[in-house]
Amino acid sequence: MMLAVVIGYLAILLGIGAVSSRRGAASAEDYFLAGRSFGTLVLFMALFGTNVTAFALLGLPGLAYHKGVGVFGFFGAAAAFWGVVVFVLLGYPICNIGKRLNCVTPTQMFAARWQSPAVGYAILLLMLLYTVPYVVIGIMGGGYAISTLTSDADGNGGLSYGAAALLVTVVTVTYTSLGGMRGTAWTNVFQASVFLVFLIIACVGIANELGGPTALMQRIANEKPQLLQHNFPPGIWATGFLIGPVSIIAFPHMFLRLMAAKDASSLRRTIKLYPWALVLLFLPVTLIGVWGAVTIPGLEGKASDGVLPQLVGDYLPGWLGAVGLAAILAAVMSSLDGQLLTVSTLVSIDVFHQQDDKNARLAGRICVIVFAVLAFAIALMKFDAIYAISKYAFSGYTLIVPVMIAAFFWQRSTAAGVLSGTIVGHGLLLWFYAPGLPRFDWMEALPVFPVALCLIAEVIVMVVVTMMTRPAEAGVVKKFERPFEAEAATG
């Protein structure tokens, strides 16, 4: 049943990619940005789907298993509030100025803002640096999910890790290279629907089988009352929003999807829907994780990440377990496809400068395939350092946000200031996280996320150097005026 569901699910994705390849114009803009045509439904699902990874269905329930209901406040409530703030503050400018300047990539936009290719390439390098590990982890996650959930209790009878990872890679590359941005967006519509519907059904079904939510929460209060308390240090809680909700807007795959919006109205409606979708995502995974702590006690380390599929397998019909595997794959692949296409876009347009419609589409498809092959090869090594690198990637994305704010709202900002602040901020972040560099005791005892200090240092350097250097020409700055309007100022 598991294999049948996997094959059926992947076949649907291939079908969506094939249909998408026949729609739209044969142009670079259509392939990379879907002709900037995303209405509310597709834009919302594309943004939401590509932002949800396997961590949401595996890692978050595992974290709630140990940390309790505070996981919802730390991740869900914070994301619902700050996600809206950053989408309003920076989403509209990305959409409007992208159309205004006909930009296809963030590199083009930031290079144009300060008339500095160096700024553009610096942002390009950082975006690639922080995105690459997630592509590898996406392939690894899909491989582990299929291999584990299609095997019996002794680990026999299912696909091997390598075969499963190859299957995920081949299917994702096929529909991504065929359909481009349009194909990945429509598959995101399907994928996001799968994992949202599954989570709601699983949450209701598990609660019903275990005596109802009221009885479950009473049991938790009696057996593990600490799970109903605040279990995050105050400093970590206070700076946690920097890691998740603020960083999201700087994901290059989110950036490109915002530039693919049809108009400001589509984005406005999407922003209104986004927090509700986050609640529908984070509330069930938190509850399931907490319920698992009293129904399946004793799970440690990575074993707790399997609490959701274990509860589904123990208390729900077998067919729903198969749907759960499809939901996990949906979470994995809805991010993987967007990341692959984005890396392909950045390399094709910004590195190889393929702007001609035919050449750009061909280069994009070749880059998707080449990069996927390399990522698959790394995934086969099961290289644990990839996980360590990914821990600081969200912080790195957060440090790109000040550059975005300076581009849209600080007319006096200069290329020298932006570059200097970027080097200091990201260099300091590397010092905090990279193994092998000299460390001090205070670095280990920080009461906040390290990105908070990096952010302060970046902004200070950016402001000081900017005030010491000559601002950009008025004509250049004028193109970035009124970022919340579709057209630039004319008078």
Token code pair at residue 394: 């969200």
At 472, list the tokens: 């950009």
For residues 203-232, give the mean pLDDT: 90
**pLDDT given for residue 205 in this prediction:** 93
| Calpha distance 163→146 (Å, rounded) | 9
For the segment 303-330, the average pLDDT, to the nearest whole number, is: 83
Q: What is the mean pLDDT of the segment spanning 221-245?
A: 85
Q: Which pLDDT does position 459 carry in this prediction?
A: 97
147 vs 143: CA distance, rounded Å: 6
pLDDT in tens, 413-445: 999 999 999 999 999 999 998 877 888 778 878
pLDDT the model gives residue 363:
85
Give the pLDDT confidence of 169-182 residue by residue, as tens digits.
999 999 898 889 99
Q: What's the pLDDT tens digit per position in 15-73?
A: 988 888 777 666 778 888 988 899 999 999 999 988 887 778 878 898 899 999 988 98
Rounded to whole angstroms, the Cα distance separating 370 from 375 reads 9
Quote the pLDDT of residue 166: 92
Given the structure tokens 């707790």, which residue do they identify? Answer: 304
HSE (side-chain half, CA atoms, 13 Å) at 389: 14
Is a pLDDT exceeding 60 seen at residue 221? yes
Name the band, by pLDDT with cuts 50, 70 and 90, for residue 490. very low
What was the pLDDT predicted at 106?
95
Q: DSSP string of 18-52?
A: HHHHTSS-SSHHHHHHGGG-B-HHHHHHHHHHHH-
Which DSSP string do the residues of 388-427 spell out, in sequence order? HHHHHHHHHHHTTHHHHHHHHH-TT--HHHHHHHHHHHHH
Which pLDDT belongs to residue 386? 55
Distance CA 307, CA 435 (A): 31
| pLDDT for the residue 226 | 92
Taking the mean position of all CA atoms in its chain, how far away is CA 469?
36
Q: What is the rounded distance in angstroms from the CA atom of residue 462 to the CA atom of residue 459?
A: 5
- Torsion, CA 461, CA 477, CA 247, CA 367, rounded to 10: -110
